[in-house]
A and B are shown apart, each in its own frame.
Chain A
């Protein structure tokens, strides 16, 4: 077998092997608490299928954040700030929606999207520009930005943007002109699922068919060589983080405009999507099209996990635990199998 094919095969094997390992260890844990592992997994997959709307809804949010993580990763950057970026995106979207609620939806929605993209891009810009200009570790700064976003969202929805008529920290209902239609009024069939798929395809084209995508990957591969070949490395790093933040900012649009129809502080602040996104990106080997699959798989585990909790009493936190093992076996096995190590 030619060397290249073997490398490819190994890289493709890592997620499958890791998933298998995670399911086995997870099954052992389920057995240890006195439940039948097979029943649990059947319940998870059947539940996710029966409640496909919720599964799709959850996958949609995850796809945006996972694409954000994957794109940054191609540039050698670790964006663990998708949580903060999606929160700021949602906050900006809510603010503009309510502030200009009288404007017709056809004009307002693009404005709202643009505002969210800008907010997310700005939340990515800060770690990006600090990395580019000062060499500051982007992991540390994105973590800090996550917590600053938590404070900002919590403040905004507790004081200035709070719905005066409600007793919890949440915004007023969003204007009706902005609400997304849903097919057959089923959750998860709002336009964002199609936007997410489109975004994945566009990301793929961007990374492998565009000049900036090429430069971005070149910087991720070797900064020094890229600089020597005339690529403006600092500019690429900053722009990549902006782009990454902007994409993540769309993660909770389905939540805002097709589910809760308002921003709820506890929901946004308590999100874990930005971290789930790391698992999804990793499982997909940072390939934007594969992100669609990995996000769907994680959404199945999450959504079906709720069913398994209801039916069998397997706690829904099983999902987090399983995710931890998936990542862990991914990193260990991709090294054992001789895959790329970064």
Chain B
């Protein structure tokens, strides 16, 4: 007999980085900027959180990781919003940059690729605080995006930047806001992975979660609650792998690993009418 609470806790743990990053993707894409650089930003967040928390303590470490994530995202914003460069190309650059710098610095300065975290987070009912933060941010983001003037403005520049502009909304400012928020959230996801799940930083530890988060955001139809649901689903499918194997079923783990991606494609194909990306998502705004 499998203890249900173990599966629930494991699902929540595995979902948390995805919840953060996919929520970040919602902000960015709602403002009209595709950010496939989430993977790289998560890596930077994970890396900085370990270095900074070892030096200054847990909370400052997490905050500095968020700042670093925002800074990297601002680079993406500069390229795509100010210079109106291709958003995919810039995202690829962010990923290469993130992979490169987080491997380069520890190797060059410390002669190793892995860094242990010295501080560990306290447990609240079996889960670390960032899990609760992630879940709490979902209703907050829903309210912010769909029930405030700021949210309306942010969404308007992602749907129709020209008319938003004509109403006096600063398209660039709103898009920077969306992108920088996505950087902050992706970095939190990375910090969670490194500090509260991994016990430190290892080279390339994000291992594709930035891309799964992108899938979760699409699966969740560009909404915070949708992103939460999809992240939980993907986290669940991830955590039942071990359960299935201990129960003696011979479903190869690779089949379950591929599931989020297959599901996302199916959703894109089947539910094409329901799933709708913001109108101006991915398009630079040329005045």
Contact = CB atoms under 8 A, between A and B. Distances in A.
Contact of B79 (A151, A159, A278, A332): A332
A155 B250 CA distance: 13
Main secondary structure of the interface of A (DSSP, over half): helix
B157 interface: no
Contacts of A323: 93, 96, 100
A159 B262 contact: no
B88 interface: yes
Given A140-B215, A152-B254, A320-B96, 10 more contacts: A130-B269, A134-B269, A134-B272, A137-B277, A140-B214, A140-B264, A147-B257, A317-B99, A324-B98, A331-B79
A143 B104 CA distance: 25
Main secondary structure of the interface of B (DSSP, over half): helix
A4 to B, nearest CB: 23
Contacts of A210: none
Interface string A121-164: 00000100010001111011101111110111011001100000
A80 B97 contact: no
A278 B84 contact: no
Interface string A306-337: 00000001110111111111011011101110
Query: A interface, how many residues as a size bin?
Result: 35 or more
A315 B92 contact: no
Interface of A: 29, 33, 78, 80, 126, 130, 134-137, 139-141, 143-148, 150-152, 154-155, 158-159, 275, 278-279, 282, 313-315, 317-325, 327-328, 330-332, 334-336, 341-342
Contacts of B83: 331-332, 335-336
Given A278-B92, A320-B96, A159 B252 contact: yes
Contact of A313 (B108, B215, B254): B108
Contacts, number: 150
B225 interface: no
A140 B268 contact: yes
Interface residues of B, number: 50
Name, among B103, B108, B264, B284, the residue most crowded by chain A CB atoms within 10 Å (CB to CB): B108
Nearest to B250: A159
Interface string B248-270: 00001011011011101100110
B88 A332 contact: no
Nearest to A323: B96
A146 B88 CA distance: 16
Contacts of A137: 277, 282
A147 B107 contact: no
Contacts of A330: 89
Contact of A328 (B97, B99, B103, B218): B97
Name, among A278, A325, A330, A331, the residue most crowded by chain B CB atoms within 10 Å (CB to CB): A331
B86 A331 contact: yes
B90 interface: yes
Contacts of B34: 139
Interface string B79-118: 1000111101110111111111101100111010000000
Interface in B206-227: 208, 211-212, 214-215, 218
Contacts of B79: 328, 331-332
